Amino acid sequence: MQTLTPALLRHHAGAKSYWRGLTYRDAVVELAVLSRHVDGVVEGREPYRVSLAWRDDRLTGTCSCPYGSQGFFCKHCVAVGLVLLDRGLTVPPPDAEDAELRDRLASLDHSTLVELLYERAARDVALREEVMRVRG
């Protein structure tokens, strides 16, 4: 798996968005490193929500700004990535233990879990087949 670096951020964003992202580091007002991704908020014309994650050994970034909403790795994604690096942090690997999800699922009652799984498995053939194979 790749490592988060300024060069990788520049590669994904392109030179123009990367250099603009450098000036937005102080605008990162929230940053949370979660089990398998990073969430952040960057102040701009309005607060923009950013998420960074690894998918198939590739860094992905999503942002609620107009440019990010078109699927581009924007200056806000760069700013969040740079702040992570400044703080000695990184984007967690995609196979990291998701303790938050595990704990939340453990707190749900049986009927709620059955309904959630049923709704997903009824629409997802692969998940349905996996559920049907499980011996329990």
The two structure tokens encoding residue 129: 């087949």
The amino acid that residue 136 corresponds to is: G
Can you tell me the mean pLDDT for 106-120?
90
pTM for this prediction:
0.74
Categorize the per-residue pLDDT at 87 as very low, low, confident or very high, splitting at 50, 70 and 90. Answer: very high
Q: Where are the beta strands (DSSP E) in 1-136?
A: 28-33, 38-43, 47-55, 58-63
Please, are residues 124 and 71 in contact by the beta-carbon 8 Å criterion? no
Crossing angle between the packed helical segments 75-86 and 15-22, to the nearest 10 degrees: 50
Residue in this structure with the two tokens 């609620």, named with its chain if needed? 64
Report whether pLDDT(110) > 80. Answer: yes
| pLDDT tens by residue, 38-78 | 999 999 899 999 999 999 889 999 999 999 999 999 999 99
Categorize the per-residue pLDDT at 1 as very low, low, confident or very high, splitting at 50, 70 and 90. Answer: low
